[in-house]
C-alpha cells in the first residue's frame, strides 16, 4: 500500500482518496477492481472504494456491485454504497484495517502454514458454501480479492468474472483477472457456476501455501495435498463442493450435518478465527494508524 500523504486527491463520488489499497508495479498481483481507501469530506465515513478497471463495462460492474449487498457471513465484505446510473461507476464497503493476501505473504516473508492456513480455508469455504446454498455463484475469488483483517479474511470482488465479459466471450487475458485463479470453463466464456468458485478457492489456498496458484503436488502441505488438486480439476464435475472443502478443513465434529445450510450456520466461525503472523498484524496496525492520521485536502478547483 502506498504511504498516505497530504495531497490534492482524486474524488470518487462523495469520497476523497487517501491512498490506493493494492500495490502496483513489478510483481503486483492482478486485481479485478481498482481499490482505494477514501474518506467523505465531513470525515464521517472511511471506506474501501472500488472502481472498474480499464476495459470493464461500467453497467456490468454496477450490476455486480448491487448484488454484492447480500449477506454471506462474517468473512464477506458487502457493498454498502454504489454510484447511481449515468455517473462514473464506483462502489464502497466500510473500511476495516486489512491488507491483501499477496501483501500479507510479502510482509510475512513467505507462505502461511498450519492453523493459519487451515483457518483461511475454513473461512473462505464457509463464505462460498453460504453463497451456493443461497443460489449464488461468487465469481470473483482470487488471492488479491482476499483482504486479511485482524480477526480474519474479508472476501471482496464479488462478480468480477461476470463483470469482466459477458458469457460466451473469452475472458482469458482480460485485465484484472488472475490467470491461475480463473477456472478454465470461465476463461473460455462459460457461465460462472459454483464449481468455478471451488477451483478459484483451490488456487487461493495453493497461493497461500506456496506463493503461487498452480503448485506441484509435492510443494503442498499434507492437509492440502489431496484437497487442492481436487479443487483444481479441469473437469468441473470432478471438483468437491465448497461444503466438502469446509468439512475437510474443519475440526472433526461429533455428528455430521444434515444439510449444507446447517453446515454453514454451525461451522463455528468464532473458533475458526485466523491467528495472523506477527508481521502481518504489525502491517495492519501501521495501516490503521496512517489512515487515521491522513490529512486529505479536497481536489483542486473545489
Q: In this predicted structure, what is the pLDDT of residue 206?
A: 97
In this structure, are 25 and 136 located in the same domain? no
Residues whose CB is less than 8 angstroms from the CB of residue 68 and which lie 6 or more positions away in sequence, other chains included: 78, 79, 91, 158, 159
pLDDT level of residue 293 (50, 70, 90 thresholds):
confident
Cell of 250: 474443519
Q: In this model, does residue 13 exceed pLDDT 70?
A: yes
Where residue 41 sits, what CATH number does that domain have?
3.30.200.20
Distance separating alpha carbons of residues 149 and 288, to the nearest angstrom: 11
Regarding whether 103 and 79 lie in a shared domain, the answer is no
Domain that holds residue 163: 98-277
| pLDDT > 70? residue 9 | no
- What single DSSP character describes residue 146? E
Burial of 208 (0-12, 13-18, 19+ CB in 10 A): buried
pLDDT value at residue 184: 96
CB atoms within 10 A of CB 78: 14
Interval 19-39: pLDDT, tens: 999 887 766 788 889 999 999
2-6, 24-28, 207-211: least confident range: 2-6
Instruction: Convert the pLDDT of each residue in 56-85 to its tens digit.
Output: 889 999 999 999 999 999 999 999 999 988
Per residue in 85-113, pLDDT (tens digit) is 888 999 999 999 999 999 999 999 999 99
Total domains present in the chain: 2
Q: Are residues 288 and 177 in the same domain?
A: no
Residue 302 lies in a domain: no
**Domain annotation covers residue 298:** no
201 shares a domain with 71: no
What CATH number is associated with residue 162? 1.10.510.10
Does 176 map to a domain? yes
Q: Say what the pLDDT of residue 176 is.
A: 86
Distance CA 272, CA 151 (A): 10
The reply to whether 93 and 236 lie within a common domain is: no
- Residues 6 or more apart whose CB falls under 8 angstroms from that of 206 comprise 212, 213, 214, 215, 220, 224, 228, 232
pLDDT digits (tens, 9 = 90+) for 117-165: 999 999 999 999 999 999 999 999 999 999 999 989 999 999 999 999 9
Helix 114-133 to helix 194-210 angle (10° resolution) is 170
In terms of domains, do 129 and 181 share one?
yes
Record the cell numbers describing residue 281, joined without a space: 498484524
Considering the domain architecture, whether residues 92 and 217 belong to the same structural domain is answered as no
Contact residues for 63 (Cβ-Cβ < 8 A; gap 6+): 159, 162, 163
Residue 205 domain flag = yes
Amino acid at each position: 500500500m502506498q504511504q498516505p500523504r497530504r495531497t490534492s486527491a482524486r474524488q470518487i463520488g462523495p469520497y476523497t482518496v487517501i491512498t490506493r489499497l493494492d500495490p502496483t508495479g513489478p510483481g503486483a498481483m492482478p486485481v479485478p477492481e481498482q481499490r482505494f481507501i477514501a474518506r467523505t469530506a465531513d470525515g464521517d465515513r472511511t471506506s474501501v472504494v472500488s472502481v472498474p478497471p480499464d476495459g470493464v463495462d461500467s453497467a456490468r460492474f454496477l450490476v455486480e456491485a448491487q448484488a454484492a449487498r447480500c449477506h454471506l457471513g462474517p468473512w464477506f465484505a458487502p457493498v454498502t454504497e454504489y454510484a447511481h446510473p449515468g455517473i462514473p461507476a464506483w462502489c464502497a464497503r466500510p473500511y476495516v484495517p486489512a491488507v491483501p493476501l499477496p501483501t500479507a505473504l510479502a510482509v510475512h516473508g513467505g507462505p502461511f502454514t498450519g492453523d493459519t492456513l487451515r483457518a483461511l480455508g475454513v473461512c473462505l469455504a464457509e463464505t462460498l458454501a453460504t453463497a451456493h446454498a443461497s443460489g449464488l455463484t461468487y465469481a470473483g475469488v482470487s488471492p488479491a480479492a482476499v483482504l486479511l483483517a485482524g480477526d480474519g479474511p474479508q472476501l471482496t470482488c464479488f462478480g468480477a468474472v461476470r463483470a469482466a465479459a459477458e458469457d460466451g466471450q473469452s475472458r482469458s487475458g482480460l485485465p484484472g483477472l488472475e490467470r491461475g485463479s480463473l477456472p478454465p470453463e470461465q476463461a473460455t466464456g462459460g457461465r460462472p457456476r459454483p464449481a468455478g468458485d471451488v477451483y478459484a478457492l483451490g488456487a487461493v489456498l495453493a497461493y497461500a501455501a506456496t506463493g503461487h496458484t498452480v503448485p506441484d503436488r509435492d510443494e503442498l502441505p499434507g492437509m492440502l495435498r489431496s484437497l487442492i488438486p481436487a479443487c483444481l480439476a479441469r473437469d468441473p464435475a470432478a471438483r468437491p463442493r465448497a461444503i466438502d472443502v469446509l468439512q475437510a478443513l474443519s475440526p472433526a465434529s461429533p455428528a455430521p450435518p444434515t444439510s449444507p445450510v446447517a453446515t454453514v450456520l454451525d461451522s463455528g466461525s468464532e473458533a475458526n478465527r485466523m491467528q495472523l503472523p506477527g508481521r502481518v498484524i504489525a502491517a495492519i496496525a501501521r495501516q490503521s494508524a496512517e489512515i487515521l492520521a491522513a490529512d486529505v485536502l479536497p481536489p483542486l478547483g473545489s
